[in-house]
Each structure stands twice: as C-alpha cells, then as structure tokens.
Amino acid sequence: MLRIEAEPGAIAIAPERTALLIIDMQRDFLEPGGFGASLGNDVSRLAAAVPPCRAVLAAARRAGLPVLHTREGHRPDLADAPPAKVARGAPGMRIGDPGPMGRILIRGEPGHAIIPELAPLPAEPVIDKPGKGAFFGTDLDLLLRNRGIDTLLVAGVTTEVCVHTTVREANDRGYRCVVLADCCASYFPEFHAAALAMVKAQGGERGGIFGWVSASAPLLAALD
Ligand code: C5J
C-alpha cells in the first residue's frame, strides 16, 4: 500500500487497484478557438494544470498504474447532443459550428483531440463522453471493474464541471476518488477552490463527502 498525504486525511492506495483518470484535457477546452473560448472563457487559466498533469501521467506510467483519458464531444450529426446543450453560446459559435480547430466539440475534429503534452499511449483507453460526467453514456465503469479498480486519481478540466460531475458519479458507484488539486483547473479560480473544498468537506481520516484532495507532489513522492 502507498500512503498519500491528502485532505481531510492521508489515504492508503493499492497500486494494483488504482487508476489515473484524466478528464477532458482537450484542445477544445485549453486552446483559443474551441468550446471553452466560445462560451467566453479565458482559456489561458487552464494552462497551469498541464505541467503537474504531465508529471503525474509520467509517474503513473512508470509505476504501471492504468491510465484512462476522457474527451467530451459529440457525433458529427449531433444525434447525441441534447438540444438544450447545443443552444448555449452565441449563434455561430455553438457545438457543431465551424471554428479555427474544426467543428466545435465534435468527435474527430482537431479541437476534440487531447493536447499533445498529454497524448494517450495506444494501450490507454480513451473514453468519449457526451456529457459532463465520465460515467454517463460510456463504458468507463465496465473498464474499471474489469480491471479491479476501486480508487481513482482524478485530474483534468474543469474542476467544478466535468471533474466534479465525474467524481460524484464515481462516488455513487463505490469508487474512492483522490482529486489532484494542481492537476485540475477552472476558468474561474474561485470555482476551482470551492469545488475542491466540497470534495474534502464533511470528512475526517476516512475522507470527505466525495473523497480526498491531494497535490501532485505527495503522489509523485509516493509513486517514485
Ligand atoms: C465543460 C468540462 N466545462 N470538461 N466541460 O463544459 O468541464
């Protein structure tokens, strides 16, 4: 077992039952001209999460932990995109509209790709999800259960939307979640802080209401 310093208390993880889950580190969210920018966000705010995420990804690979990546996006014909979701944003800059990185938030377009710094290896599953949560409409739960995973190290963007939704879904399915604070980011720093506070609230030595929050450094120290 590895002991990871975390809040509200340290957590012991079994490497053979632990996976790294990297949420939506896509060009559509991190680069200008994508979905995040189309909603009026300053995408540069997400950049700080990339180097720690890269370090954790490399350490997880060295330690032999399963790594899974997710991508938010939709079919080219938008058949899996709820009309209420498509209707958000300014006309001409909505899901499916053409942008500098191809059609916004559409699978297979350049903007839908995971950023090169965190590119998945061929053996690492990439979960294409139509919603905010990584379990909704995907086979993620099946992949994790088939590998005997009970603990998730969660990184990615944005903290209060897709990371949080996924952590909530994971909790209800019985997984322990450790959210890696500096490997997550939001367009709204105050939402990032509040989302992390919510995960570790109402807890003691056995974790918060949705799990644990750690920085990447204690995890790296434990893995290396
Ligand atoms: C959003 C996400 N914010 N990956 N998606 O729409 O957090």
pLDDT digits (tens, 9 = 90+) for 162-205: 999 999 999 999 999 999 999 999 999 999 999 999 999 998 88
Measured distance CA(22)–CA(76) in Å, rounded: 24
From the alpha carbon of 72, which atom of ligand 1 is closest?
4
Q: How far is the CA of 153 from the centre of ligand 1 (A)?
A: 18
Catalytic residue among 28, 128, 132, 162: 162
Q: What is the mean pLDDT of residues 52-74?
A: 98
pLDDT one-digit tens code per residue, 104-139: 999 999 999 999 999 999 999 999 999 999 999 999
Judged by DSSP in three states, 57 sits in helix
The answer to whether residue 162 is catalytic is yes
Q: What is the mean pLDDT of residues 55-65?
A: 98
**Residue 195: what pLDDT?**
98
**Residue 130: what pLDDT?**
98
- Model pTM? 0.98
**Residue 45: what pLDDT?**
98
pLDDT one-digit tens code per residue, 66-98: 999 999 999 999 999 999 999 988 899 999 999
Higher pLDDT, 131 or 224: 131
DSSP states of 140-165 as a string? Answer: HHHHHHHTT--EEEEEEE-IIIIIHH
Residues with CB under 6 A from ligand 1: 24, 29, 72, 132, 157-158, 161-162
Phi-psi region of 107 (alpha: psi -120 to 50; beta: other; left: phi over 0): beta
Judged by DSSP in three states, 115 sits in coil
Q: What is the mean pLDDT of residues 142-152?
A: 98
Report the run of H or E that residue 184 belongs to, with start and end: strand 176-185
Query: Of 103, 117, 126, whose CA–CA distance to 28 is shortest?
Result: 103
